[in-house]
Structure 1
């Protein structure tokens, strides 16, 4: 390592945000989650401490690793890059600097007495088959377990007209179906639209049996991302029946959350919602759309595939006490197995909670669930 290379860990609120954001904006592997806005919202909404591992060559920033320290009242504390989303790993000028950033993150876990370091990164594209004539750098989906989580990415053409023409007739008819059913979609960038989104999102999370993020979380995201956060709302008359959030960064747009009200799904609000968001970011000049995480061959995977999204590896690496935690070596695997068996029961109980109570207690739990 060069003697002029300096690696250090800094509290996020003490690191120059402008310097950080300039580096992220200029890095080809950066995602919208890498923006300082994600760390800022996490601190403001949930009071988790943000960290930046940085590398400087002389006085020039040449690598960053954003981290969030999550300390639940009960259980194991962790450093995650990044919580509440799919990825946010190290950005660096080269692999050597990237490795040094992770080494420093391991040292930070010891300093802060944190047991788990979780690095979430994106990987290569996956093939839909094992044909030897395909790109050898792409792993075959056939070789992966059915439970594998993948990141679904779609390249966007030059404008929304070309995008619409690229869709199969069935998909185009489903988009038109929503409009024929009397639904309309609106795009918003103002803060007030967060509450319209949350009205739909919170109901859907309760239906799924999952603790909901706080309203403040989304308000802080909007305040931090500003015009780089779009909110799509689908209405039947004046009632919001579908809603989604898109974050923008570089040439990439991502959709971390989208929800519809189940009783209106026969009207296809999800089709109109996604088309509205996709067509808008396409016309803005964004060249890639991140549909988010899905399990191979499950419903959301197939839904995203029809829009042209292709699967990419998600590489989530966990270190416990500084050592790589390989699959099958987790000392808590028996506890995880019990939790998976109890999950259907817990979800069923959660669905029966009054919405107001679920919205009150949900965020108190959700803030410590880093997925």
Structure 2
């Protein structure tokens, strides 16, 4: 993309020699999130082969604003430009509102040149740009971590606290390491049971390479030392983000997922984290209700979208009735087959 001169700064594409500088900007910016880091460019390109268009504004060669963008092109799911797929947060962060808007408008111009269906920017907080329409169908859930395991448990809503206490009496153990293979095995079976296509296994491997110092896996095992629940988590700016978690069929009876998230809270607090970011869920979904059971107040997410070639807002939600037959069929697939077929679909569903 050619430089676009706007007053005394320009907007250009990110090159590999500036990854470190980009990440330093993300760390230093109040709105910089884990999902703004340059490592996502490497992970997405190497795993899904999508074209990345990471833009930044520079002034006297200094970065003064960034916007990660990924182009996804599928005959089945359409052609989009998103900040950022596979991530719950995104959008532009900048030194000023004017620079942020300039980056957003540059994204829209890029989307028009690429002839995408729409451009989507995933903001956590509300921002305004007259060229985009705001839509809020998801919320994020987070809580401040108390300073001891007992206090963490006490901070959880009474009914869910009782469930966790029950789980602590079961014959469960846990370990924390970087075993993404086990995380994938549990996660892939969990999402198959929900009727959702799973990612390629190399996605987890590439995440562990790109974010080696900011990632771990907590695995819960039963009395036979077999994994029953697992969660892959990210760590950034004093927060832990349990991102890809799930459990096998027996997890419900053992309450091992509840055990898992409580142990992760305690581990994160001991590691210096101050906040537990439970991530996004679609409003009124089962996932949202589960997170709210911890006593967490949902915070609406403020995504922006600008239609380019599309004539109406897309609805790729699993709650869309037209996907019901597919979801029910996917649940019945053999696990091995779901792991083969899933990556061909999931690469467009981030």
Place the TM-score, normalised by the shorter chain, in its bin: 0.7 to 0.9
Distance 1:14-1:210 versus aligned 2 partners, 3 A rule: same
Distance 1:57 1:164, change over 3 A: same
Pair 1:347-2:327 in alignment: yes
What's 1:299 paired with? 286
- The answer for unaligned runs of 5 or more in structure 2 is 127-134
Q: What CA distance in whole angstroms lies between the structure 2 residues aligned with 1:69 and 1:355?
A: 30
State the Cα distance separating 1:181 from its structure 2 match: 1.4
Q: Give the alignment's TM-score, normalised by structure 1.
A: 0.83
Sort the Cα spacing of 1:297 and 1:114 in 2 relative to 1 into closer, same or farther, 3 A. closer
| Residue in structure 2 matched with residue 211 of structure 1 by the alignment | 197
Closer/same/farther in 2, CA of residues 348 and 252 from structure 1, 3 Å limit = same
* Deviation for aligned residue 1:170: 4.3
Q: Distance in 2 between matches of 1:298 and 1:105?
A: 31
Q: Work out whether 1:201 is the aligned partner of 2:187.
A: yes
Shift of 1:221: 0.5
Report how far residue 367 of structure 1 moved.
0.5
Query: 2:220 & 2:319 partners in 1: Cα distance?
Result: 36
Separation in 1, partners of 2:160, 2:108? 47
1:71 is displaced (CA, Å) by 1.6
- Counting only pairs closer than 5 Å after superposition, residues 83-162 of structure 1 correspond to structure 2 as 83-123=85-125, 148-162=137-151
Residue aligned with 2:246, SS:
strand
Distance 1:19 1:239, change over 3 A: same
Where does residue 330 of structure 1 map in the other structure? 312
8 Å contact kept, 1:80–1:117? yes
Partner Cα distance (1:219, 1:337) in 2: 27
1:144-170, Cα deviation, whole Å (9 max, x unpaired)? x9x942111212234545323323554
Partner in structure 2 of residue 82 of structure 1: 84
Instruction: Select 2:301's aligned residue among 299, 308, 314.
Output: 314
**Which among 207, 213, 230 is matched to residue 227 of structure 1?**
213
Cα distance in 1 for residues equivalent to 2:197 and 2:60: 46
Which deviations, in whole Å up to 9, do the C-alpha atoms of 1:20-68 show, x marking residues without a partner? 1100011111222112222211111111122211011222211100111
Question: What whole-Å deviation, never above 9, does each CA across 1:78-106 have from its counterpart, x for those lacking one?
Answer: 11101012221111111111001101111
Q: 2:64 aligns with which of 45, 62, 65?
A: 62
Q: What are the ranges of 5 or more consecutive residues in structure 1 without an aligned counterpart?
A: 125-144
Specify the alignment match of 2:340 in structure 1. 360
SS in 2 for 1:212: coil
CA distance in 1, matches of 2:220, 2:20: 35
Q: Distance in 2 between matches of 1:183 and 1:206?
A: 24
Deviates more, 1:253-262 or 1:202-211: 253-262
Q: Which residue of structure 2 lines up, in the alignment, with residue 53 of structure 1?
A: 55
In 2: Cα distance, 1:114 partner to 1:337 partner? 20
The reply on whether 1:290 has 2:277 as its aligned counterpart is: yes
Partners of 2:285 and 2:202 lie apart in 1 by: 31
Within the candidate set 165, 170, 191, 1:176 is matched to: 165
Alignment TM-score, normalising by the size of structure 2: 0.88
1:318/1:296 Cα in 2 relative to 1: closer, same or farther (>3 Å)?
Answer: closer
The answer to which of 199-208 and 253-262 deviates more is 253-262
Does the 8 A contact of 1:117 with 1:318 survive in 2? yes
1:369 aligns with 2:349: yes
Counterparts of 2:300 and 2:265, CA distance in 1: 22
Q: 1:26 maps to which residue? A: 28
Distance 2:225 2:140 in 1: 34
CA drift at 1:295: 3.5
Instruction: Give the Cα–Cα distance (whole angstroms) in 2 for the partners of residues 241 and 150 of structure 1.
Output: 28
Matches within 5 A, 1:3-14: 3-8=7-12, 10=13, 12=14, 14=16
| Counterpart contact for 2:194–2:331, Cα < 8 Å | yes
Query: 1:141 matched to which residue of 2?
Result: none
| Aligned residue in 2 for 1:250 | 237
State the shift of 1:302 in Å.
2.9
Q: Do residues 17 (structure 1) and 19 (structure 2) align?
A: yes
